[in-house]
């Protein structure tokens, strides 16, 4: 049993996610410096739409691991910023399909470049195989808890 106990600091770091918080803040600062007027959360929604445009809010929930009210309000704010449009589905009128505007399409390259830059800074001095291990462990953690 004692073998299964985590050290305090270790435990705290994993739970509070200091590293990913730091990454997100760094990226947010880059967005702000570039006057993008975009939050990381808004970016993370656009991210899924860049992969596939015109998906429903429910699909955005699943993809971004957020609940429905969170997506409702993120889409509200993205609409205010004229980055997306809600289009009621013809086949199922309960659904809103979310489409990128031209403005949002133009943001993709610049923001992905800043995201890449941020990760390079974050992972400086870490060998590729250690990055791989870390990524795999985090994926397992996610899979262990997602169910």
Instruction: Indicate whether 108 belongs to the interface with DNA (CB under 7 A).
Output: no
Q: Is 130 in the site for a second copy (CB under 8 A)?
A: yes
Work out whether 29 is an interface residue with DNA (CB under 7 A).
Answer: yes
Given the complex with DNA, which of 8 and 93 has the nearer CB atom? 93
Q: Which does 23 bind (CB under 5 to 8 A by kind): DNA, a second copy, none?
A: a second copy
Applying CB under 7 A, among 95, 119, 122, 123 the residue interacting with DNA is: 95
Give yes or no for residue 121 binding a second copy (CB under 8 A).
yes
Nearest to 123 by CA among 22, 54, 38: 22
- Cβ proximity to a second copy, 6 vs 87, nearer residue: 6
Burial 76-107 (b: 16+ CB within 10 A, else e): eebeeeebbbeeeeeeeeebbbbebeeebeeb
Among 116, 124, 10, 104, residue whose Cα is nearest residue 53: 104
Residue 56 found at the interface with DNA (CB under 7 A): yes
Residues that bind DNA (CB under 7 A): 21, 25, 28-29, 32, 39, 41-42, 56-58, 61, 66-77, 86, 92-97
């Amino acid at each position: 049993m004692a073998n299964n106990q985590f050290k305090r600091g270790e435990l705290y770091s994993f739970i509070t996610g200091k590293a990913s918080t730091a990454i997100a803040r760094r990226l947010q600062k880059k967005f702000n410096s570039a006057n993008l007027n975009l939050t990381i959360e808004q970016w993370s929604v656009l991210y899924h739409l860049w992969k596939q445009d015109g998906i429903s809010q429910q699909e955005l929930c699943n993809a971004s691991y957020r609940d429905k009210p969170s997506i409702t309000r993120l889409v509200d704010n993205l609409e205010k910023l004229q980055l997306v449009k809600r289009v009621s589905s013809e086949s199922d009128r309960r659904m809103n399909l979310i489409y990128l505007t031209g403005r949002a399409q133009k943001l993709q390259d610049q923001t992905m470049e800043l995201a890449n830059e941020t990760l390079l800074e974050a992972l400086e001095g870490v060998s590729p195989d250690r990055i791989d291990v870390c990524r795999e462990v985090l994926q397992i953690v996610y899979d262990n808890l997602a169910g």
